[in-house]
Amino acid sequence: MHLNESVLCATAPAASGSGPGTLALHDIQTGTSLASWKQSSAALHCTAIVQSRDGQGGFMLAAQQDKSILNVYSFQKDQLALKIVLPEKLTAIAVDPKGKYCAGATAQGRIASGIMYNSWDAHYRQINVLRFTQDAAALLAGSEDSGVSVWLTTRLVDETLQNELPTPYCSFTDHTLPVTDILCGVGPFPSCRILTSSVDHTVKLWDPASKTLLTTFYFPRPITCITWDPTERLFFAASADGSIHQVNLFRQREDKYSRAAMEAVGGAGVSDIIRINEIDPKDAKKRLISVGESVTTMAISLTGAMLLAGTTSGLIHVYDIASHQQLRTLSSHKGMAITHLSTMLRPPDLVGHVSLTLSTGAAGDARDNIPVRPVTPFQRIRDAKARETHEVSLILPHNSTPVGTFFSYSREELIKDHAFFVQPSAVGPEAAGVSLQSRVSELEGEVTRLREQLGKAKGINDVMWETVVQRMVSEGKESEKKQGSTEQDSETQAEGGGRRRKRNRT
């Protein structure tokens, strides 16, 4: 099976006079267009994707730039699948990797998630970016008020806490200007790492487990977006002037035996500040990529070999990470602003394309074998009654692997046991009734015999008990009589001895 990597991009009008934007899927190696979805103009951080996996088709969500509308697209059709009217315009959206929860942020700092599971004032000002952790255990929100809040998903959807104001798991407040981007590292929450960028020229690395700041990276320009290597060895930070800085999270040092060794960078806490371009200007210049125009969003290929940078002019530049050489430029969206970039394997249910690995029949029926994950219209207000009575549509994932058994069971034994349980009995119903009655009579007779034996045993036990008690009592009386007679004999002997003494004196 050939795995073809693709890149999904979202565009929006660069100026008021431009036409509507699109969602487009390109081959990352050749740059050719695979599919496109029109009638979408999503702003930065307003596009979310759930990939096709486990035998279920994926979908895309795009919050419109100047409307309180959320467009839903599927990979199987090149048309709008669903249009959801929202309570107000969204400034950022996020969907967990499994497509169970969706969160949307507004300009008033309010977050709405679920059916509407919760809606609360998360920040004082507009929320710029929302991110779910990879295990969907936490939701992160970055705002214009320079704060980053971390919310536990379990508390947001807990029915017993619906009437209480949600409290964040933790808040990161070390930024001094608006937050522009958030990235969640690999691993379950809170063992993962978190990267945040801000207009204050810094990118900060956080540890959610200890709720502390690990390292601060200071750049010469305000940072607009960041992207992280899949192995977390390095990250890229882009500025509005078109400069992209590569920051390695490791460095080479010499041990006490003068041997080269690698060590991690940072981790000293609040006081650990790494200033880019100041420690080693020559080496930093080698790690600098100059695009020449404002960079809006970035992504790294699944192999970690290529960097993709989207610009305000609609160009997508592809660079080789090892050499920083520009490989190609995708110019099919020139004149529009690139607002989203993400890399993925080409969806097997993509419209106009067929994956033979997922269809055993005709090629035209490939899409029919992969159901699309259900997406229903969102509620506009919180309704406890609707939350209790609503139905949840769920498609069970397809399991193509045979289920193994943990014991050895041959086919002959299976047929023999099946025949024993399925074949009718050779004895007729009348004979079966007679045999059952005889069995009952036999059991009743056995119960009667057991009761008689129990009565005899109880009688013997009572007799033995009475005999033992009487013997104990009689032995006690005899011992008392013997003791009394011995005392009387001793007294008589004492009196006889006294009389003899008196006679001798006389």
Domains of the chain plus CATH, in order, are 5-389 (2.130.10.10)
Q: Identify which has the larger pLDDT, 54 or 44.
A: 44
pLDDT tens digits for range 409-430: 677 887 887 777 776 555 555 5
Question: Measuring CA to CA, which residue among 3, 6, 30, 5 is closest to residue 327?
Answer: 30
Q: 388-396, long-range: CB within 8 Å, 24+ apart, which pairs?
A: 390/115, 395/56, 395/371
Mean pLDDT of 20-32: 91
Cα 184 from Cα 132, distance rounded (Å): 8
pLDDT tens digits for range 189-223: 999 999 999 999 999 999 999 999 999 999 999 99
Q: How far is C-alpha 273 from the chain's CA centre?
A: 32
Indicate the length of the chain as a whole number. Answer: 506
pLDDT of residue 163: 73
DSSP string for residues in 293-316: S-EEEEEE-TTS-EEEEEETTS-E
DSSP string for residues in 25-41: EEETTT--EEEEE-S--
What residue type is 215 in one-letter code?
Answer: T
Q: How far lies 338's CA from each of 7, 248, 313, in Å? A: 12, 26, 8
Is it the case that residue 362 has pLDDT exceeding 60? Answer: no
Q: Identify which has the larger pLDDT, 286 or 404.
A: 286
pLDDT tens digits for range 381-398: 666 665 566 666 666 666
Calculate what percentage of the chain has a pLDDT beyond 90.
42
pLDDT of residue 56: 83
Count CB neighbours of 14 within 10 A: 17
pLDDT of residue 364: 44
Question: Measuring CA to CA, which residue among 333, 307, 334 is closest to residue 245?
Answer: 307
pLDDT tens digits for range 330-343: 998 988 999 999 99
Neighbouring residues of 124: CB distance < 8 A, sequence distance ≥ 6:
109, 143, 145
pLDDT of residue 360: 40
31: buried, middle or exposed (CB in 10 Å: 19+, 13-18, 0-12)?
A: middle
Cα 138 from Cα 135, distance rounded (Å): 8
Is it the case that residue 236 has pLDDT exceeding 90? Answer: yes
Could you tell me the pLDDT band of residue 16, with boundaries at 50, 70 and 90? low
Is it the case that residue 174 has pLDDT exceeding 80? Answer: yes
Q: How far lies 501's CA from each of 476, 492, 496, in Å? A: 39, 15, 9
Could you tell me the pLDDT band of residue 39, with boundaries at 50, 70 and 90? confident
Mean pLDDT of 68-75: 91
Could you tell me the pLDDT band of residue 374, with boundaries at 50, 70 and 90? confident
In 331-423, DSSP assigns E strands to 336-345
Question: Measuring CA to CA, which residue among 371, 392, 372 is closest to residue 115?
Answer: 392
pLDDT tens digits for range 89-148: 889 999 988 888 888 888 776 555 555 555 656 666 888 999 999 999 999 999 999 999
Is it the case that residue 499 has pLDDT exceeding 60? Answer: no
Q: Identify which has the larger pLDDT, 159 or 303.
A: 303
Q: Up-side HSE of residue 294: CA atoms within 13 Å toward CB?
A: 12
pLDDT of residue 286: 79
- Beta-strand pair 273-275/212-218: parallel
